[in-house]
Amino acid sequence: MTTVHEPTTPVTPPDLSVWPASTTEPGPGDLAVGGVPLAEVADRFGTPVYVLDEAEVRDRCRTYRDAFPDAEVLYAAKAFLCRAMAHWTDDEGLGLDVCSAGELELAVTTGFPAERIVLHGNAKSPRDLETALRLGVGRIVIDSPSEIARLAAAVGPDGHQKVMVRVVPGISAGGHDKIRTGTDDQQFGLSIADGYAQHAIARILDQPQLELTGLHCHLGSQITSVKSYLAAVRRMVGLMSRLHEQHGLALPELDLGGGHGIAYRPGEEALDLTALARKVRTELADACTAAGLPVPRLIIEPGRAIVGPAGIALYRVLSVKRTGHHVFVAVDGGMGDNPRPALYGVRYAPRLIGRHSTATPAPVTVVGRHCEAGDILAADVELPADTRPGDLLAVPVAGAYHLSMASGYNLVGRPPVAAVRDGIARILVRRESLEDIRGRDVGL
């Protein structure tokens, strides 16, 4: 008797290029991160839930330290901050860049050294400045002329505070108009072109209690070209040269900000960190030599590039609806825990996990549960045609600007954050409960 074997279609292995390095596929349809199956995380902690790979965060911190051994690397806390994140970055030798009294106090009360923290913000409140001075923050970045007098008065005649000046170099860079901050037509910093930066620096030099340590610039976010940073180096050194001629200043620090682009979907471009470090160092040394200036210590502020690829968002499918030519897969989260697609048109690559499907992939739009037509998490992506309610979707590259930008829309409550490492999952930030929401509502 002859045995007839049916032809089989080879299974294409999942493209894990944008997932944490620890990601594995224990079985068909299953994914594990940090040795923990993602389906188990969802079952244990509920959905939506954010999963953060601690080893990936730490490895990315070390990658920056290795790429910029002579620079000061500050983690941009606005991307995502919790006590564990502050501890990890401190443990790996990074400083911290904060934008509010809340971020500052959380970091310091966790044990992060205040002298390794820099306070940013284009509109710092009196509480922001008071908290920074009370806790002894390392530097304050001055973003507007009015801050100079306010800060000098708060420091007092016998006090001392190190400051930098945020300069607008007039360079357009970034993945979207709403995240380009290096041009003269937005609210951040002081322009070189109209002389506001030079005027502010002269005013700071008249305040003996303020010590100007250097210049700062931030071109934008999700930048994938090294050329933008090299142009910024040239313009910033040009300004430093003019300040040296006018005031005899030889500023010891130059902060080029962050905005380092990452890939959100397989095949997308990311900033080449090795090339960035090598070319920026060379450009800075050459420009300073030509200007007759000592080379300042470089400062960089990565945020997204450290925590973004380390995070995964898990959602449960609530409904699948076919309307006309479109299929909408609705999940139990949305713009309340990730407003970025609505704000910037960000595109993700969700995948079905927790079960093996042999169905042909079909185009769908993954939408959220909120009462907005713009609540779309992933438009025109492919999921198995048999995707159904109860299924679990995992969205990679979800560590940055998700929970930190989450809102209280529809009083749904913000998701928890779970860390995974060495086969163990633990909660870092608990789920916001109805009791939390009711507790804030004190009026009647």
Give the whole-angstrom CA distance, residue 400 versus residue 123.
23
CB atoms within 10 A of CB 79: 26
d(Cα 11, Cα 357) in Å, to the nearest integer? Answer: 11
Token readout for 268 is 């997308």
DSSP state of 92: T
**What is the rounded distance in angstroms from the CA atom of residue 228 to the CA atom of residue 219?**
8
Question: What is d(CA 311, CA 57) in angstroms, rounded to the nearest whole number?
Answer: 9
Cis amide linkage into residue 48, ω under 30° from 0: yes
Beta bridge partners of 331: 317
Specify whether 371 is catalytic.
yes
3-class state of residue 419 by DSSP:
strand
- Cα–Cα distance for residue pair 304/313, rounded to 1 Å: 15
Reduced to 3 states, what is the DSSP secondary structure of residue 134? helix
* Cβ atoms of residues 287 and 233 within 8 Å: yes
Which residue among the candidates 82, 99, 288, 371 is catalytic per the annotation?
A: 371
DSSP string, 260-317: B---SSTT-----HHHHHHHHHHHHHHHHHHHT-PPPEEEE--SHHHHGGGEEEEEEE
C-beta of residue 385 within 8 angstroms of C-beta of residue 329: no
Separation of alpha carbons 31 and 350, rounded Å: 12
Catalytic residues: 371
